[in-house]
Structure 1
Amino acid sequence: MESRQSKCGSTEEPEDRLTGLPDGLLHSILHGLSLKDVVCTSGISRQWATTWVRALATSPVLDFTDRAFVVRQAPAQVVALVSLYLKRHADQGAPLDVLRVALDGTLGGAKAFGHDVVGWVAYAVARGAREVEVDMTPKQGDRAAQHDDTVNEEDFFVALPSDLLLARNSLVRLALDRFSLRAVLSGAPAGFAGLRSLSLSHANVTDDEVNATLSSCRLLEFLSLRSCHLLRSVRIVGHKLRGLELVTCLGIQQLRVTAPALESFAFHGDIIYLRDSDNFSAVDLGDTPTLRDVCLSHIGFGNMYLVPEYEYGFFRFSNRIARVKSLTLCSVGLKHVWVQLVYDDDPPPMDVDMSNVQELKLLMASLDFGSLEAVSTFLQLYSFLTLDRLFFHLPGEQVEASDVFDALNHEIYELDDCIYIDKFGLDCLRLIKVVNFQGTWAELALLAFLLQGAPALEQLVLVTVEEEQGASGDTPLKLIQQRVSEMTEACVTWCGPSEDRTQNPAHTRFYHME
């Protein structure tokens, strides 16, 4: 829009050039804008908002998941907005392929707006939608309320009626957060028959209900269960299942998986173990010949590796995912292995076949002397014959400037006195990437250890912490860069998070940070 000034100096009405654009062009522009952007730019043109409403009313994709917009609105406003546009969509009689909604699910919201939310899902299913997603994650600051045991269950979950998914439909992907499927699963939900992707978060599903769900989803290729705390002894059967994600399901004590086509497996939570079951493993992933990438993360669950009940639990778990090509582990699991080796007088053989691992990512909850010992022990314990890429994700908390200067003032190359080094060689290692690097003594010690065992290394990538978080100024950073360059002949790349264009690992999600 342009303002024109008359000869006498007065400002005329701004010229609205957008109004003159063809409707088809305006529709194509508006289809690419998020809800927040449409609201923020509605003043650009007199017809902008009304054109967007018309475009949305005929669009096959209705997406209300812009979190930046949702967290700034009262839940009642979001509910009214979604209901209004769904009504206009229904009035137009337009087809619907996708419905996605994000709503602040602060406790009590389910009871207040459950009827509306169920109506949205029912409308999408009736219109033949292939994808339905409803996310009621509480906004930042209200997450602690999720675990309040005093809250009435009826206030926490939106209950889907028994007849909603009784008949066959077009659903291919279903993602629900804070829903109860109990009534739906009491019958034979034919509405699950076509699903290829199912994600349930904070759902009050039991072991039997998961079994009932999977028995109705013969075509399922991806399953995600997050924070489903009623699960105890989980059995996953899916002959077409390719991806499985179990995140923070705190009650699981036994896991049985029959998925011969499984390619990707991610687990974040407590180490699974069974008391008084020395001859019976708590984890059985069955025969998974196509399994290629695995993520096992236990960050956020305390010093579990020191608890007697977990004895060899991590080893037995990790032994089930041998021979994968891409592996993500965490420092909690590595410390568990280290403690068993150091403090057990007669530890059993910890033979895990790592010969196929081409990519290894280590999530570090901390980086101290104990973590260095755990990492070095792990890399020396197993033979990584084909390891090509090694990634470290360090904690991003700000360090004291004195820690950086301490690293500059001490020699850290000779590690024999602090880290036991026996037979160590990563002969095929081509790339090392460290994220949240700040140049502390422990970080430089880690680099020195890795570099002496990587004769074929071609590239070392060091991604620094966010600029406002870092403790080191320009001068210490230059000295650290010089120190690192003296440690290797490989190409060293320094960059910030926003500048990083280098290779990333297969698993880029950090479940402990979500």
Structure 2
Amino acid sequence: MESHQKKRETMEEEDRLSSLPDDLLHSILREVPLKHAARTSALSQQWASRWLRALASSSVIDFTDRDFARGQTPARAAATVSRCLQLHADNGAPLDVFRVALDGCDGAFERDVVGWVASAVARGAREVEVDLTPAHGNRAQQLDADQDGATFMELPGDVFLTENSLARLSLDRFSLRAVTPGAPGLAGLRSLSLSRADVTDEAVQAVVSSCRLLEFLSLSSCHLLTSVRISGDNLQRLELVRCPAVQELRVAAPALESFVFHGDVVDLYDWESEEVVGVDMGATPVLRDAYLSHIGFGTADDVDIKEYAYFDFMRRVAHAPTLTLCSVGMRHIRAQLNYDDLMEIDMTNIEELQLLMASLDEDDLEALFSFLQLNPITILDRLFIRLPIDAAEASGVAAAPIHKAQGSFIADYVDNLVLDHLRLIKVVNFRGTRCELVMISFLLKKAPALEQLVLVAVEEERGASGDELLKIIQGKVSAMQKASPEVRVTVCRPSEDRSQNPAHTRFYHEE
């Protein structure tokens, strides 16, 4: 008790911060990250109220650093946000940006959250973001859990009835049913993100068509969506993630530069025309990058059922110079070869290809080798392969030797494939399994201009045993036959990796 009292007296004696002029304190606090500003109450007896007042006088109110709520109940954290907004309104300061991220909403403060959005929009904010996704655990499972019985926060119909300054809107767990289609307050939107939203196909189509300036649209875990129709002359980026009921996708966006899809293969068949009609991307002449992943969706039987649907989907984005695909898709293509060995996708524009592997066994290798051979990628410069993090999905024993059987397996695919512009190969989550080594051996023989091979190991083994494994892998790969005499082989841990990364670095199936 005595030492505690002495420590308190010492802190009070050293509290020189509180004696600074308010204007100077506020200017300092505006430059301090929220989590650090909140902790300064340990340094100054008046600091806690000062940083809150400083934040309330700023044009940017940003509570997305979840550390500010650490040790508090969600309701208490929400009360802090409400108090800050009230102080901000009392001060009459202009509000440009309002962002908040809290760990869930149990219903106790739903009215507060809706009030935050309405207040920020009414006060002229250009950017409004509300994220209620729990920060810990599996994000995808939490996003999709209990969707049928989920409760949504209802946005009042009058929030967007008048014109405002809103340019970016990002909402999680809101219902837009009361929002009038073509509402004047949405007309100036350039960016719209809806996650776990109570929104229908018709509502999305109406909102997007009325937002003529919209450049970015993200729809995530919106389980009511079945037929998504997007039309926008200015739309440049489109994301459709974890919307499992979607069976039809129609996009008319001639300015589209970036497209992301993570979900089940869109499969709609017209029995009259006997054609797959699930996806229509229209003309996308300036498409720069596309991300097409189906990991975690569908069943093994779907590979033989939806192979034509996948082919139809992929060919509509394969002209993008930067492309991310997954092993599920390659298996679909391999299955289609059983019915149509003349199929071909034009991939001659691709400069960067990233392959996301849900697993790596001999079937995956066969699908990979077939994919590369049957779809010439003539100017491919960079190849990135992301192996599964889960060791259970890896095949073979670490650093196992390549047997003669595997040598003949590779020989079936070596005749007419040359990746003669390939400069970089990077493989992440490498363990040195038999199938991984077979894959590397195959690629090294097909890339005569290869300059660098980077193998980034998984974060598992540390210490002497981990170092020994890296040395074994380095030795085995260095001894492989190579088409390029100049290739540099690097085997390292993630913390040691300094090599180039792919354009797409967010992996939805791992969230």
TM-score of the aligned structures, taking structure 2 as reference length: 0.90
Contact 2:292–2:325, Cα closer than 8 Å, also in 1? yes
Counterpart Cα distance in 2 of 1:12 and 1:49? 15
In the alignment, what sits opposite 1:271?
A: 265
1:233–1:507 Cα change, 3 Å:
same
Correspondence for 1:233 among 221, 227, 237: 227
In the alignment, what sits opposite 1:147?
A: 145
Contact 1:166–1:188, Cα closer than 8 Å, also in 2? no
1:29–1:446 Cα change, 3 Å:
farther
SS, match of residue 392 in structure 1: strand
1:454 aligns with 2:450: no
Counterpart Cα distance in 2 of 1:322 and 1:150? 35
Counterpart Cα distance in 1 of 2:488 and 2:146? 51
Counterpart Cα distance in 1 of 2:293 and 2:14? 57
In the alignment, what sits opposite 1:90?
A: 89
Percent identity of paired positions between Structure 1 and Structure 2: 59
> Displacement of 1:203 after TM fit?
0.9
Contact 2:470–2:491, Cα closer than 8 Å, also in 1? no
Question: Residue type matched to 1:415 in 2?
Answer: G
Counterpart Cα distance in 2 of 1:12 and 1:507? 48
> Displacement of 1:19 after TM fit?
4.2
> Displacement of 1:510 after TM fit?
0.6
In the alignment, what sits opposite 1:250?
A: 244
Counterpart Cα distance in 2 of 1:499 and 1:22? 46
Counterpart Cα distance in 2 of 1:438 and 1:145? 31
SS, match of residue 42 in structure 1: helix
1:290–1:150 Cα change, 3 Å:
closer
1:288 aligns with 2:291: no
SS, match of residue 94 in structure 2: coil
Contact 1:196–1:222, Cα closer than 8 Å, also in 2? yes
1:387–1:182 Cα change, 3 Å:
same
Counterpart Cα distance in 2 of 1:366 and 1:309? 20
Contact 2:122–2:159, Cα closer than 8 Å, also in 1? no
1:494 aligns with 2:470: no
Question: Residue type matched to 1:102 in 2?
Answer: A
SS, match of residue 104 in structure 2: coil
The unaligned stretches of length 5 or more in structure 2 are none
1:290–1:304 Cα change, 3 Å:
farther
1:485 aligns with 2:478: yes
In the alignment, what sits opposite 1:133?
A: 129
Correspondence for 1:221 among 215, 218, 234: 215
In the alignment, what sits opposite 1:162?
A: 157
Counterpart Cα distance in 2 of 1:470 and 1:158? 50
In the alignment, what sits opposite 1:512?
A: 509
In the alignment, what sits opposite 2:407?
A: 415
In the alignment, what sits opposite 2:102?
A: 103
In the alignment, what sits opposite 1:377?
A: 370
Following superposition, which runs of at least 4 residues in structure 1 exceed 6 angstroms of deviation? 399-402
Contact 1:239–1:261, Cα closer than 8 Å, also in 2? yes
> Displacement of 1:50 after TM fit?
3.0
Deviations 1:420-476 (A, max 9, x none): 313111100001111111211121111111111001001111222224689952222
SS, match of residue 335 in structure 1: helix
1:209 aligns with 2:208: no
Which residues in structure 2 correspond to 1:43-62 (within 5 Å)? 43-62=42-61
Question: Residue type matched to 1:64 in 2?
Answer: F
Correspondence for 2:334 among 332, 338, 345: 338
1:339–1:471 Cα change, 3 Å:
farther
Counterpart Cα distance in 2 of 1:444 and 1:95? 60
1:116 aligns with 2:112: yes
> Displacement of 1:122 after TM fit?
1.2
Which one is further off, 54-63 or 12-21?
Answer: 12-21
Correspondence for 2:469 among 456, 463, 476: 476
In the alignment, what sits opposite 2:320?
A: 324
SS, match of residue 415 in structure 1: helix
> Displacement of 1:22 after TM fit?
5.9
1:191–1:351 Cα change, 3 Å:
same
1:170–1:145 Cα change, 3 Å:
closer
1:140–1:474 Cα change, 3 Å:
same
Question: Root-mean-square deviation (CA), in Å?
Answer: 2.8
Question: Residue type matched to 1:290 in 2?
Answer: V
Deviations 1:278-337 (A, max 9, x none): 324211100111111000000001435645541411101011113210000001001111
In the alignment, what sits opposite 2:191?
A: 197
Question: Residue type matched to 2:205 in 1?
Answer: N
Contact 1:304–1:310, Cα closer than 8 Å, also in 2? no
> Displacement of 1:40 after TM fit?
3.1
Counterpart Cα distance in 1 of 2:270 and 2:394? 49
Counterpart Cα distance in 2 of 1:148 and 1:297? 23
Question: Residue type matched to 1:241 in 2?
Answer: L
Contact 1:413–1:448, Cα closer than 8 Å, also in 2? no
Correspondence for 1:355 among 345, 348, 351: 348
In the alignment, what sits opposite 2:65?
A: 66
Counterpart Cα distance in 1 of 2:147 and 2:49? 46
Which one is further off, 269-278 or 446-455?
Answer: 269-278
Contact 1:132–1:174, Cα closer than 8 Å, also in 2? yes
Contact 1:373–1:420, Cα closer than 8 Å, also in 2? no
Which residues in structure 2 correspond to 1:431-470 (within 5 Å)? 431-467=424-460
Contact 1:360–1:389, Cα closer than 8 Å, also in 2? yes
Which one is further off, 204-213 or 347-356?
Answer: 347-356
SS, match of residue 407 in structure 2: coil
1:13–1:94 Cα change, 3 Å:
closer
Counterpart Cα distance in 2 of 1:401 and 1:235? 39
Contact 1:467–1:496, Cα closer than 8 Å, also in 2? no
1:315 aligns with 2:311: yes
Counterpart Cα distance in 1 of 2:360 and 2:168? 40
Equivalent pairs, count: 496
> Displacement of 1:358 after TM fit?
0.1
Counterpart Cα distance in 2 of 1:101 and 1:471? 45
Which one is further off, 441-450 or 299-308?
Answer: 299-308
SS, match of residue 444 in structure 2: helix
Counterpart Cα distance in 1 of 2:118 and 2:393? 54
Contact 1:234–1:255, Cα closer than 8 Å, also in 2? yes
Deviations 1:149-201 (A, max 9, x none): 662x5xx100000000111100000000110011013x541111100000011
Deviations 1:36-75 (A, max 9, x none): 3333342123343233122101111111112344465322
SS, match of residue 100 in structure 1: strand
